Structure 1
Amino acid sequence: MQCSNLKNILVLSFGILLLYTAYMGLQTLQSSLNKIEGLGVASLSVMYVSLSLSSLLLPPLLIKKIGCKWTIVASMICFISYSLCNFYPSWPTLIISSVLVGLGGGPLWASKSTYITITGNKYAETCGKLAKDVVNQYFGIFFLICQTCRVWGNLISSLVFNLTPNAGLDAPNQTICGAGDCPAELTQTGNSTSGRPSNTVIYILLGSYTGCGVLAVLLIIIFLDQIQGDRDEKDINCGSTLLAAFKHLRDKRQCLLIPLTMFSGFEQGFIASDFTKSYVTCILGLKYVGFVIICFGVTNSICAIIFGKLAQYTGRVPLFLLGAAINIGCIIGFLIWKPATGNFAVFFVMSGLWGISDAVWQTLLSSLYGVLFEKNKEAAFANFSLWESLGFAIAFGYSSFLCVYIKLYILMCVIVVGILLYGAVEYIEYRNTLCEEGPKD
């Protein structure tokens, strides 16, 4: 049974890896590639607003009607549209495709998390292990593989850009970079003159990304097993699923986790949009964005599996505190750092450190939801996707309006509040455990 479970986890992981190789590669480039009138980040903001709504309405409905496997397949097809519409980027094409990706994103991540949690719980029951340990391991394996999507997606873009003669990929003629970068000042002074790669270069890149998406769909259809216990034959409608998701907010543990869950979206939005545009592209040029983000992906993937294993021995709390400490340290670093070509290595160091902290949120925060809300998984993961997506939407939404230093202060406030409220959740769990054990003789 372990071999079958592991096979399914690996198939799911590599399927989403292929899909997100394309998606993450494009997301990283949007703020620099489609920056006219803020089209790129605007499309991402719309995408995550759509995703937050779909997270409430669609996941329980689709999972209970067609099961996790076919929910994943249907969602993946929506993602492919984003690569296709980037061939002809405009407000109508990118916004429509962003809405489609958002509609598919909620069910995709809820069904993925449900699939992993059910698989882990069933194996734990069979072999007599703690369910939370098995679920942590499975999420660790998943994120070890899946988080390398940033490596492959950005490696593809970097190779395409660097193997092509200069096509406007050098650093822009911009006088203010880093924390002092303000979109309003750029609009007024017009001090950014970077170009856009040629259509030939972009078409090669988008063709590669579209192929990855198609392969992902085929892999899931052919090799992923449907699991039992993920469907319900009773009648379900959107109203009932929405009500179930909101009813889940009655659980105070869910409410306390909202800020930290939103921070997961905020911090990923920052690294994908503001760090790439205001630090990397501004100083080094678009052709270095992929290489710098590869460093993020490598540390993220390695730490995902390490933290999944380490949590068995240290518990969640020390690792959550480690992630928060690294994020706070990086935020302070971004505020005081004056990026320049002379400190080339610092770009990679900051990217790598951010990848370590992100591994905590991606691996352990997901598994925390699965462990805390085991009896109400669909509604719980719908809420997880909702609040994380809102974090993304807000981060991309204000990207074209606020100075970078203001965004960094916002990140600082959210992580501090989030980690404090997470501590309250752990305290509640500790008290509940004591009550269940009862007084000792």
Structure 2
Amino acid sequence: MNSPEAASSGASDGCDSSREILSKEIFENADVHSIVFPKKKIIKNLTLLCVAFVFMFAAVQSLFALQSSLNKDEGLGVYGLAIVSIAVIVSCLFVPSPMISLLGCKWTIVTAMFCYVLYIAGNFYAVWGTMVPASLIMGLGAAPLWAAKCTYLTELALQYAKLTGETATAVVNRFFGIFFGCFQTSVMLGNFASSLILSQKPENETEISKELLDRCGASYCTGDEDLGNVTHAGLKRPPAETIYTLCGMYVASGVVAILILVTFLDRLAAHPDTPGKKRPLISVQLLTATFQQTRRREQLLLIPLTLYSGLEQGFIGGDFTKILHRIKELCREEITSYVSCSEGIWNVGYVMLCNAAVDAVCSFGFGKLVKDIGRIPFFVFGSFLHLSLQVVFLTWQPTSDSLALLFVFAGLWGMGDAIWQTQINALYGVVFHNNQAAAFSNYRMWESAGFMLAYVFSFQLCVYVKLYILIGTLALGMGGYVTVEALQKRQTPGRELNTEKTSELPTVKA
């Protein structure tokens, strides 16, 4: 998932890649000369952090997956997500350092989560006047949330390593693995809950007309006005009562997450969580280094693939599963590109649950396998898998009996996404090992740009045009990747980049 969060979010949040470099920097610089917590308290705080993030992101990521279904008038949902992505880019560069310096990690996490709850609450009355500021607030809170989480989690791991005598790298990787393993369950739980609430089909539902089905899939263009007066109850916006129930459940879940942290999470007394410590108000050095990094040859070559990472996550959330637009004037019903169009809105959550489950399993499994067979085969397989699916989407016509295939396609797309999210992160860590802060800042900037473009395209372009954009960007990205591999091999004769040991780099996805 994922989302701009996600990213995946999915989105999950468009700033996903910052987590890896932040943990790396803290690992190198954290002050752990004194042990603050005993082992049991470290495990307790790790558990609380995991549980709180599951509660928060079960709500947030599920709501992201439904944005253009629930708030489709004039593209409010997808434009709101684009605004989130823009705010995340700005937030990543400017907000985390001064906020953590002022509040410390615990209260930075709590404050940032409150920004997320405000976004969820904005969906109770979703109009431009509420959703635009709510999206901005959430996007600005995203980077400090993940930066503070990484700081706190890594500090716990370093203290645990000092207590147990294990290597710091091993414990940091283990703690991050535990956290993101739990985090992935939030995507599945949130989508499952939303599907249960939206699963009440209207009693008078009729079969989807052939006229409407002909406009499902790649042939759908926002603004088409040649469908006539077609009706299908499964494509209607859910009743207001259902939306209130859904948003109420999400707000409650977010509030529970905040209460868990406020009540039970311990503040770190060591250096990373000490508020008031002098730090630069703006990450000027990181900002300058980020733009200098963009001019590097290898970075320029990797921009298309990084951009594709955001585009493909935006596509699975913004075009494959959700209602895009309400046809105006000639009909009062909505059509979708794939899932809602042929199956109804109640199946969106179930399909995304399948996507998230496969993504989570493959992210873990591929991370293990890459040590044995290298990274190049995974990049080749991922590109072949996504390219094949994109060709299928261009030629395939969904029908009312296509549900099983939709689950298969969603799962396969998640498998490819697992490759991009884990292996591109690892690739950046190896290629730019001497300048990782600026490199990962570039990663999150270009991936967030991909998210933003995907959400803007979602309301402006026909589905087949978006698929051609994906195919072109993927082809360009793989060309750049192959060139980077060749350059690295030339610079270090006798060593292939794809067999570089990267187990010491956190390569996790959320």
User: Considering the TM-score relative to the shorter chain, is it more than 0.5?
Assistant: yes
Given candidates 291, 300, 313, the residue that maps to 1:268 is 313
Deviation at 1:272, TM superposition (A): 0.9
Note if contact 1:16-1:146 (Cα within 8 Å) is conserved in structure 2. yes
CA displacement 1:175-204 (0-9 Å, x = unmatched): 400011100214886757642211211111
Matched, 1:143 2:180: yes
Answer whether contact 1:80 1:213 (CA < 8 A) is retained: yes
Is the Cα contact below 8 Å between 2:121 and 2:251 reproduced in 1? yes
Counterpart among 133, 145, 153 of residue 190 in structure 2: 153
- Shift in Å, 1:102: 1.0
* Alignment-derived partner of residue 312 in structure 1: 371
Find out whether 1:421 has 2:480 as its counterpart.
Answer: yes
CA contact (8 A) 1:58 1:107 kept: yes
Deviates more, 1:343-352 or 1:181-190: 181-190
2:215 to 144, 157, 176: 176
User: Aligned-pair distance for 1:134?
Assistant: 6.8
Moved more, 112-121 or 39-48: 112-121
Q: Give the aligned residue type for 1:83.
A: I
RMSD: 3.6
Whole-angstrom distance in 2 between the partners of 1:158 and 1:211: 17
Cα gap change, 1:362 to 1:218, in 2 (>3 Å): farther
Q: For residues 126-154 of structure 1, give each alpha carbon's deviation from its aligned partner in whole angstroms, at most 9, with x where no partner exists.
A: 6458x5x7766655444333233221111
Q: Which residue, out of 307, 327, 335, partners 2:386?
A: 327
Maintained 8 Å contact 1:167/1:197: no
Structure 1 distance, partners of 2:266, 2:424, is 25
Structure 2 stretches lacking a partner, 5+ long: 1-37, 323-336, 496-510
Supply the AA of the counterpart residue of 2:248: G
Query: What is the deviation of 1:343?
Result: 2.8
* 1:139–1:367 contact (8 Å) kept in structure 2: no
Is the 2:363–2:418 Cα contact (8 Å) retained in structure 1? yes
Matches of residues 102-113 of structure 1 in structure 2 within 5 Å?
Answer: 102-112=139-149
| Cα distance, 1:42 vs structure 2 | 1.3
* Number of aligned positions between the proteins: 434
- Tell me which of 348, 353, 356 is aligned to 2:415: 356
The answer to whether the Cα contact below 8 Å between 2:311 and 2:454 also exists between their aligned partners in 1 is: yes
- What's the offset of the Cα at 1:279? 0.3
Match of 1:162 among 199, 212, 227: 199
- Cα deviation for residue 382 of structure 1 reads 3.4
The structure with more radius of gyration: 2
| Aligned 1:41-440 pairs, distance under 5 A | 41-63=78-100, 66-112=103-149, 127-128=166-167, 131=169, 139-163=176-200, 174=212, 175-186=214-225, 194-221=235-262, 222-223=264-265, 226=268, 230=272, 233-238=277-282, 240=284, 241-249=286-294, 251-277=296-322, 278-369=337-428, 378-430=437-489
Displacement after TM superposition at 1:61 (Å): 3.7
- What are the Cα deviations for residues 309-337 of structure 1, in whole angstroms up to 9, with x where unaligned? 22333333333333222222211221121
Cα displacement (A) at 1:83: 0.9
- In structure 2, relative to structure 1, the CA distance for the partners of 1:368 and 1:71 (3 Å cut) is farther
Q: Distance in 2 between matches of 1:338 and 1:400?
A: 21
336-345 or 234-243: bigger deviation:
234-243
Which digits, 9 at most, give the CA deviation of each residue in 1:30-86, with x for residues without a partner? 112211111111111111111122222223443455555443333222111111010
How many Å separate the matches in 1 of 2:294 and 2:158? 24
Q: Do the aligned partners of residues 322 and 109 (structure 1) sit closer, same or farther apart at CA in structure 2, a change above 3 Å counting?
A: farther
Worse overlay, 226-235 or 103-112? 226-235
Q: In the superposition, relative to structure 1, how do residues 363 and 3 fare at CA in structure 2: closer, same or farther (>3 Å)? A: farther
Q: AA paired with 2:404?
A: A
Deviates more, 1:427-436 or 1:346-355: 427-436
* Deviation (angstroms), 1:349: 0.1
Asked whether the equivalents of residues 323 and 360 of structure 1 are also in contact (C-alpha less than 8 Å), the reply is yes
Whole-Å separation in 2 of the counterparts to 1:29 and 1:167 = 24
SS in structure 2 of the partner of residue 40 of structure 1: helix
CA separation of 1:239 and 1:151: change in aligned 2, threshold 3 A: closer
Percentage identity across paired residues of the two chains? 40
Partner AA of 1:409 in structure 2: Y
Aligned 8 A contact 2:389 2:413 in 1: yes
Residue ranges of structure 1 left out of the alignment (5+ in a row): 437-441
For residues 197 and 161 of structure 1, do their structure 2 counterparts lie closer, same or farther at Cα, with a shift above 3 Å needed? same
Quick one: which amino acid aligns to residue 176 of structure 1? R
- Conservation of the 8 A alpha-carbon contact between 1:12 and 1:224: no
Amino acid of the residue matched to residue 257 of structure 1? Answer: L
Q: 1:352–1:140: structure 2 CA closer, same or farther, 3 Å change rule?
A: farther
* 1:37 counterpart SS class: helix
Choose 288-297 or 366-375, whichever is displaced more. 366-375
More displaced 10-residue stretch of structure 1: 361-370 or 408-417: 361-370
1:17 deviation in Å? 2.6
TM-score by length of 1: 0.84
Is the contact made by 1:78 and 1:104 (CA closer than 8 Å) also made in structure 2?
A: yes
Deviations for 1:248-302, whole angstroms, at most 9, x for unmatched residues? 4355444433322222211111111100131010111111111111111111121
Paired residue secondary structure (2:398):
coil
Deviations 1:402-441 (A, max 9, x none): 01011111111222222332344445555565599xxxxx
Match of 1:27 in 2: 64
Query: The residue matched to 1:184 in structure 2 has which SS?
Result: coil
User: Would you say the 8 A contact 1:72–1:108 is kept in 2?
Assistant: yes
Pick closer, same or farther for the CA change 1:312–1:295 going to 2, 3 Å.
Answer: same
Residues 68 and 75, structure 2, Cα contact 8 Å, conserved in 1: yes
Q: Return the letter of the residue paired with 2:368.
A: K
